[in-house]
C-alpha cells in the first residue's frame, strides 16, 4: 500500500498551479542544534564532484562574492517544542530514511530539550529590497513563534513573517531597517547548464560561506515537496548545482558571476545528510512571483490548468499507470492528460482525455516539471497557449487559468473563507470518542496547513478541538459561525493524541 501511494504521488495531482513549495521537516546536523537548519534531504546514489579550474574566473568569483555576502542573512527559528514534531520526523523517515544513521530519535530528544531562549534551528535568507524584505524557504521559518535575523555585520533584528507558500517552499520576512544591501533577481529562464554559480549562506553555522560550482541541470523534480505531505499543490522545477550546499544553506542565495540572484537554495540529495554533489534551488522567476503575490495580496495567486496528468518521461509512472488502468501508453516526451478538475480551464478550451501536452506558450514540455514551471509564473485569469497532440496531430488552443474555486480574479486575504484563513478543516467527533475522552463537544482537525494559524499553535491532523473562544464546537459550520467576520485574538481549546488538553491562541488574520 505504501509503495502504491508513493508511486501515485507524482501524477495524482488535480491541476497544475501557478506559484509553487513544502512543509519542511526540521533537521539538525552535529551535536549542536544551533548550527543546523530545517533542511531537506533525499536519498540518491553516490555523487561525483565536478572538477574546477577557477584560474580564468577567479576575479568574477570575487566580485560576485563581495556583492552577495552582505545581502545574505542568518535566520534563527525559535519555537515551542511539542509532541507534533515527533510525527513530522516519522513522516520524514518514512519517505527518505534516517539521514543520521539511526541517531534520529536521539536527536529528537535533544531538540525537545532545547531551551526557549535558544533557536530550534537556523537557516539563511536573502535581502531583496533596501527597506528590509527578505526571502527564504518556508521550511526555514516553519513553526516559529519568533524569527531572528542576523546580518553579515552581526547586527540582529526580530523579523515579521509576511507570508509563506509551502507549495514552492518560499517565505517572505520583513525587518524594520532602511538602506540595506540587497540582491537583484535575474531572469532564471536564461540560465544555462554548465554556467558558473556561487552558493552563499550559513552552512553548519559557518556564517557568510561562499562555494562555487556549475549549474548541473534545470527543471529537476525530486519529489520532496509532495513527499513531505504538506504541500497541497507542489511545483518542483529546481535548478541543480554542484556548488557545495549543506544544512544551514537553506534559504540562501544562488547567484551568477555578476552577483544576480538566480535561485533560492532549498535542498540537497544525499545518502548521508551532508553534501555529496547535488544541490537544488528554487528558480528566481518562480520565487519572485511568489513574494510579489504575498506583498501585494497577502496570499499567493494560483492559476490552475485544471488537469490530472501522467509524466510520459517517467517510465515507472507509465508502467504503473498501464498496470493500474490496463492501458498501453508508451514512454516518451510530454504530459498525458488523464483527467480534469471541476471547472477546468483546459477542458473548456477543448482538451480531452488522452491528449499529450507538448508546449505551453512555445516552451517545450518534456516532463511534469516543465509543465509545473510554465504555469507556475501565472495567475488566475491569465491566458496561455497550450499545444497538444491528439491522434498524432498537433493543435494549439488558448486556455484561461482559474483558481481552485473556478474563479479568474485575484483574491486577497479578505476574500478567504474562515477555513482558509486558519488553515484547517474539521470533521464531527463521533459519540464513541466523546465517551472515551469524556467530552461533551469536539471536532477533529483535518488537512492542517503548514504555516497556518492552527499549525502555529501546535495543532496537527486528528487533534480534537473542543472549544473556540469559549464556545463548544461540534461541526465545521460551528467553527465558521464563531470566526466569521471575527477580529482579534482567538482562543482554542484542544486535545492531542495523548489525551492532553491545551488552551492556546492566535490573532485572527
Q: Which helix (H) or strand (E) holds 428?
A: strand 425-428
* Three-class DSSP category at 11: coil
What b/e string do you get for 225-241 counting C-beta neighbours within 10 Å, with b at 16 or more?
Answer: bbbbbbbbbbbbbbbbb
Residue with cell 509563506: 164
Residue with cell 542573512: 73
Whether residue 240 contacts residue 218, with contact meaning beta carbons closer than 8 Å, is answered with: yes
Beta-carbon count within 10 A of 162 CB: 15
Q: Which helix (H) or strand (E) holds 295?
A: helix 284-297
DSSP summary character for residue 196: E
Q: Which of 39, 136, 171, 250 is catalytic?
A: 250
In angstroms, rounded to a whole number, what is the distance separating the alpha carbons of residues 149 and 161? 11
> From the CA atom positions of the chain, what is the Rg in Å?
23
Rounded (5°) CA angle 320-266-317: 5
Q: CA separation (Å) from 168 to 127, 288, 448, 450?
A: 18, 11, 17, 12
In angstroms, rounded to a whole number, what is the distance separating the alpha carbons of residues 293 and 131? 18
* Three-class DSSP category at 462: coil
C-alpha 293, offset from chain centre: 15
Q: Which of 33, 37, 139, 216 is catalytic?
A: 139
In angstroms, rounded to a whole number, what is the distance separating the alpha carbons of residues 276 and 42? 11
Instruction: Tell me whether strands 261-269 and 40-42 are parallel, antiparallel or unpaired.
Output: parallel
Known active-site residue 250 = yes
Q: CA separation (Å) from 482 to 468, 471, 472, 475?
A: 7, 8, 10, 11
Helix pair 284-297, 368-376: axis angle to 10 deg: 40
Q: Which of 37, 169, 311, 355 is catalytic?
A: 169
Whether residue 329 contacts residue 317, with contact meaning beta carbons closer than 8 Å, is answered with: no
β-bridge partners, 290: none
Known active-site residue 355 = no
Rounded (5°) CA angle 470-468-419: 160
Give catalytic residues, as residue numbers. Answer: 139, 169, 250
Amino acid at each position: 500500500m505504501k509503495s502504491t501511494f508513493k508511486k501515485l504521488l507524482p501524477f495524482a495531482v488535480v491541476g497544475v498551479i501557478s506559484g509553487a513549495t513544502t512543509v519542511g521537516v526540521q533537521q539538525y546536523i552535529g551535536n549542536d542544534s544551533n548550527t543546523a537548519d530545517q533542511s531537506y534531504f533525499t536519498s540518491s546514489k553516490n555523487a561525483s564532484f565536478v572538477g574546477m579550474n577557477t584560474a580564468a574566473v577567479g576575479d568574477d568569483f570575487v566580485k560576485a562574492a563581495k556583492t552577495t555576502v552582505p545581502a545574505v542573512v542568518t535566520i534563527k527559528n525559535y519555537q515551542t517544542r511539542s509532541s507534533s514534531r515527533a510525527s513530522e520526523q516519522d513522516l520524514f523517515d518514512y519517505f527518505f530514511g534516517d539521514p543520521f544513521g539511526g541517531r534520529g530519535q536521539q536527536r529528537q530528544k535533544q531538540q525537545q530539550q532545547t531551551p526557549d531562549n535558544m533557536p530550534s534551528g537556523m537557516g539563511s535568507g536573502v535581502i531583496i529590497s533596501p527597506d528590509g524584505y527578505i526571502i527564504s524557504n518556508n521550511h526555514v521559518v516553519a513553526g516559529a513563534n519568533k524569527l531572528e535575523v542576523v546580518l553579515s555585520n552581526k547586527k540582529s533584528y526580530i523579523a515579521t513573517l509576511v507570508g509563506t507558500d509551502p507549495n514552492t517552499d518560499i517565505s517572505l520576512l520583513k525587518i524594520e531597517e532602511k538602506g540595506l544591501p540587497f540582491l537583484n533577481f535575474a531572469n532564471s529562464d536564461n540560465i544555462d547548464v554548465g554556467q558558473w554559480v556561487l552558493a552563499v549562506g550559513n552552512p553548519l553555522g559557518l556564517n557568510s560561506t561562499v562555494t562555487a560550482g556549475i549549474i548541473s541541470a534545470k527543471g529537476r523534480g525530486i519529489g520532496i515537496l509532495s513527499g513531505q505531505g504538506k504541500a497541497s499543490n507542489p511545483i518542483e522545477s529546481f535548478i541543480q548545482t554542484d556548488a557545495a550546499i549543506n544544512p544551514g544553506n537553506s534559504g540562501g542565495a544562488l547567484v551568477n558571476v555578476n552577483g544576480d540572484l538566480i535561485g533560492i537554495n532549498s535542498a540537497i540529495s544525499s545518502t548521508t545528510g551532508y553534501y555529496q554533489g547535488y544541490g537544488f534551488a528554487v528558480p528566481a522567476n518562480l520565487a519572485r512571483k511568489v513574494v510579489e503575490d504575498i506583498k501585494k495580496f497577502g496570499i499567493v495567486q494560483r492559476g490552475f490548468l485544471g488537469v490530472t496528468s501522467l509524466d510520459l518521461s517517467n517510465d515507472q509512472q507509465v508502467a504503473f499507470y498501464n498496470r493500474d488502468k490496463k492501458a498501453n501508453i508508451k514512454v516518451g516526451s510530454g504530459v498525458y492528460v488523464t483527467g480534469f478538475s471541476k471547472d477546468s480551464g483546459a477542458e473548456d478550451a477543448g482538451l480531452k482525455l488522452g491528449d499529450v501536452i507538448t508546449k505551453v506558450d512555445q516552451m517545450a514540455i518534456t516532463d511534469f516539471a516543465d509543465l509545473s514551471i510554465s504555469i507556475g509564473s501565472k495567475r488566475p485569469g491569465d491566458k496561455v497557449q497550450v499545444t497538444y497532440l491528439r491522434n498524432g496531430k498537433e493543435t494549439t488552443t488558448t486556455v484561461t487559468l482559474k483558481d481552485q474555486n473556478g474563479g479568474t480574479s485575484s483574491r486577497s486575504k479578505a476574500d478567504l473563507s474562515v477555513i482558509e484563513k486558519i488553515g484547517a478543516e474539521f470533521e464531527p467527533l463521533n459519540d464513541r470518542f466523546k465517551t472515551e475522552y469524556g467530552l461533551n463537544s469536539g471536532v477533529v482537525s483535518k488537512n492542517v496547513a503548514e504555516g497556518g494559524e492552527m499549525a502555529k499553535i501546535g495543532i496537527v491532523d486528528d487533534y480534537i478541538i473542543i472549544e473556540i473562544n469559549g464556545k463548544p464546537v461540534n461541526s465545521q459550520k460551528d467553527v465558521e459561525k464563531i470566526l466569521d467576520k471575527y477580529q482579534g485574538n482567538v482562543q482554542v481549546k484542544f486535545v492531542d493524541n495523548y489525551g492532553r488538553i491545551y488552551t492556546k491562541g492566535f490573532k485572527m488574520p
